[in-house]
Structure formats: C-alpha cells, structure tokens
C-alpha cells in the first residue's frame, strides 16, 4: 500500500491538504482550551487555602508627590497585573511632611511637594503557611514591595506586621 495514491490521498483515505487544515484547527482549539480553561483554573482549580488568616502590614513609602494621597484611599484593593485583584485591602493612609531632601539636606521648612506616606494594609494569607504571601511574594519586615492599586503604584518598605 502506498502512502500517497494517485489522487493525492494519504493512505487512500484523506487528502493531505485536508489533513493539514484539520491539524491546524485542532491545534488552535487545543490552545484556546488550554488558555481559558486549564491555565485560568476553570476546569481544574488549584489548591485553595482551607482557612485564611488576616495580617496588618505597615508599608512606608518615602518621598512621593504630595497629591498621591488623593488617589489612594482606605478600602482600595491591591492589584498586580499577573494576579489581578489580591486578598489585600488598604486600611489607612497617613501623610507626613519631609524635612530632609532626597540628597540628605535638612530643610528649615517641610518639603514643598514631596511627602512620606505610611500605608496600612490588611492581607489575607493561608493560615496553614507560616509565611505571609501576597501575589507570590513573601512579606517580611524590611522587604521592598509595591503598593499598587488601579490608580497608584508606590515603592515602599514593610515596617511592621501584626496578626
């Protein structure tokens, strides 16, 4: 038996062009199915924590423009691009005057357009895990993290963690 017959059919059953088209369609359908069903955990959800524990995390964000505090409010949900909305909510925001410039020079009066922000965040993390995790990042004192909402992205340092 020939692989291709005189009519161009593979094993005498199907035209080679038709077979290529069918394989392309199956690859596209399989890719879409993987992206939307499996990767997004619709069909096969990942392990969800049985119990969550709340932590209060304080983040110090130095030298931010003074109007930043107008765009970050208690109740805002933290958001990371790859994880979407997180189990982390801003509880409070405190603004303090800066008396030292970024270059280390002491000022007689507060800085005219920079402020220090202290942001308190409630993070819900897996109670069975000793680590406090947010968007795949372990939260530790001194850790540099981004406080990111839909309107603000601030670089800060974790200064306190309370249960």
Task: Write the pLDDT tens digit of every residue in 11-58.
Answer: 667 777 777 888 999 999 988 877 766 655 444 444 455 688 889 999
pTM exceeding 0.75: no
Distance from C-alpha of 89 to C-alpha of 100, rounded to nearest angstrom: 30
Distance from C-alpha of 35 to C-alpha of 121, rounded to nearest angstrom: 32
Distance from C-alpha of 60 to C-alpha of 91, rounded to nearest angstrom: 14
Nearest to 76 by CA among 68, 85, 84: 85
The highest-confidence range among 28-42, 99-113, 145-159, by mean pLDDT, is 145-159
Q: How far is CA 41 from CA 28, 46, 49, 163, in A?
A: 19, 6, 15, 30
Q: Lowest mean pLDDT: which of 33-37, 71-75, 78-82, 125-129?
A: 33-37
For residue 42, the model assigns a pLDDT of 43
Distance from C-alpha of 33 to C-alpha of 55, rounded to nearest angstrom: 37
For residue 44, the model assigns a pLDDT of 42
């Amino acid at each position: 038996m020939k692989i291709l017959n005189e009519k161009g059919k593979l094993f005498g059953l199907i035209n080679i062009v038709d077979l290529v088209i069918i394989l392309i369609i199956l690859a596209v359908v399989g890719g879409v199915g993987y992206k939307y069903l499996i990767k997004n955990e619709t069909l096969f959800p990942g392990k969800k924590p049985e119990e969550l524990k709340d932590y209060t995390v304080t983040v110090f964000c130095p030298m931010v423009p003074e109007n930043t505090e107008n765009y970050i409010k208690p109740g805002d949900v933290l958001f990371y691009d790859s994880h979407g909305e997180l189990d982390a909510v801003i509880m409070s925001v405190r603004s303090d005057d800066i008396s030292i410039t970024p270059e280390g020079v002491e000022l007689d009066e507060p800085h005219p357009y920079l402020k220090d922000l202290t942001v308190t965040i409630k993070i819900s993390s897996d109670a069975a895990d000793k680590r406090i995790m947010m968007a795949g990042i372990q939260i530790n004192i001194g850790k540099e993290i981004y406080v990111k909402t839909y309107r603000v992205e601030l670089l800060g340092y974790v200064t306190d963690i309370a249960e």
